[in-house]
Amino acid sequence: MTLRQLQVFLAIAREKSFSRAAKSIHSSQPTMSEHVAELELELRKKVFFRRGREVTLTEAGRVLERYAASAILAVEGARQAVDDLDGLGHGSLMIGASTTPGIYVMPGIIANFRGRYPGVELKLQIANSRVIEDRVNARELDLGVVGGHAVGPGEECLAVGFADELLLIVPPRHAWAKRRFIAPEILAREPLLMREEGSATRSVTERALQRAGVRFQAGMELDHTEAIKQAVMAGLGVAFISVYAVRGEVETRRLHALQLRGIRVQRHFHVIHHEARRLTASARAFMEALVRAGRRPAVPPSRT
């Protein structure tokens, strides 16, 4: 039984699909099947039920899952403990981030961190908040950076990082494009483009509007911030987007940003960690880099 076989097994158990698991750990589906076949041959038991594309754990698989997770965690902890003997001259760090911080905030922080600690190998995974939370819970990530997060069982919220504000964006020739504020009650006149289920941007927007009693007309659902910006430019609706994500388009007047009068849609990016996963020296150093960067407030783009 090899470490790679256990990693493959846990990925399939989590994703409930060979193809999705292969993508999540950057492998191929035939290779995944080969590892599982070798594992089942050694155990003399099937670890998965396969019904079409759906994959579920057998009783043997459920037993193995607990031990496999502990084994992976122990090996990673041992590796990090040895790396820590060299201070931050060596080490590895796996960071997960939801879409907005992952694309628009983290690259600059990672560049500064690598300049300061070139010996630390750092990898970044980007997905929506729900997926990153699941990977933290599966102990696959050292740290997760997500927006508007409620701490779940086994998780620790290590820090409240960046403050973020979601601005309402419209195309430059829209009737609202000459305004800085609109009355909340007229929002329902336009379809509101939304991110997919599991997105923190979506949940924060819906929560803020519902809390304020603002009615809205649900428009298209798109699974990426860039897709939403392009859809707004094409006149398919309006949307709430992070100030970090829309700065360039507003400055170049490809989009116009405004607010609902009397209502601010705000959140923080939280840094989460599984309490059973050892917080390494590299992770602590990266936390410090996040905290330093988080002290610089986001400045809304100019809205001419």
Question: Rounded mean pLDDT of 26-50?
Answer: 91
Residue 95 pLDDT: 94
Query: For residues 60 and 84, what is the distance between their CA atoms, to the nearest angstrom?
Result: 36
Grade residue 304 by pLDDT with cuts at 50, 70 and 90: very low
123 or 70: whose pLDDT is higher? 123
Question: Rounded mean pLDDT of 52-73?
Answer: 88
- Indicate where the chain has its CATH 1.10.10.10 domain(s): 1-85
pLDDT at residue 66 is higher than 50: yes
Spatial contact of 177 and 256, defined as CB atoms under 8 Å apart = yes
Query: For residues 23 and 21, what is the distance between their CA atoms, to the nearest angstrom?
Result: 5
Residue 211 pLDDT: 93
Q: Which residues pair with 240 in a beta bridge?
A: 168
One-letter amino acid for residue 92 of the chain:
S
Question: Rounded mean pLDDT of 145-166?
Answer: 70
- Indicate where the chain has its CATH 3.40.190.10 domain(s): 163-267
Residue 300 pLDDT: 56
Question: Rounded mean pLDDT of 258-279?
Answer: 88
Q: Identify the weakest region by mean pLDDT among 26-30, 80-84, 288-292.
A: 80-84
86 or 101: whose pLDDT is higher? 101
124 or 295: whose pLDDT is higher? 124
Find which of 58-62, 143-147, 268-272 is predicted with most confidence, using mean pLDDT: 58-62
Residue 86 pLDDT: 59
For the chain, percent of residues with pLDDT exceeding 90: 53
Grade residue 155 by pLDDT with cuts at 50, 70 and 90: low
Q: Which residues pair with 300 in a beta bridge?
A: none
pLDDT at residue 303 is higher than 50: no
Residue 126 pLDDT: 93
What's the CATH code, domain 1-85? 1.10.10.10
- DSSP codes joined into one string, 89-151: SSEEEEEEE-HHHHHHTHHHHHHHHHHH-TTEEEEEEE--HHHHHHHHHTT--SEEEEES---
Question: Rounded mean pLDDT of 1-8?
Answer: 90
Q: Identify the weakest region by mean pLDDT among 47-56, 274-283, 294-303.
A: 294-303
DSSP code at position 295:
T
What's the chain's average pLDDT?
87
Establish how many alpha carbons lie within 13 A of residue 267's alpha carbon, considering only the half-sphere containing its beta carbon: 27
Spatial contact of 262 and 183, defined as CB atoms under 8 Å apart = no
Look up the CATH architecture of domain 163-267: 3-Layer(aba) Sandwich (3.40)
72 or 234: whose pLDDT is higher? 234
How confident is the model over 123-146, as pLDDT tens digits?
999 998 889 988 888 888 989 998
Spatial contact of 93 and 122, defined as CB atoms under 8 Å apart = yes
Q: Provide the whole-model pTM.
A: 0.66
Residue 288 pLDDT: 85
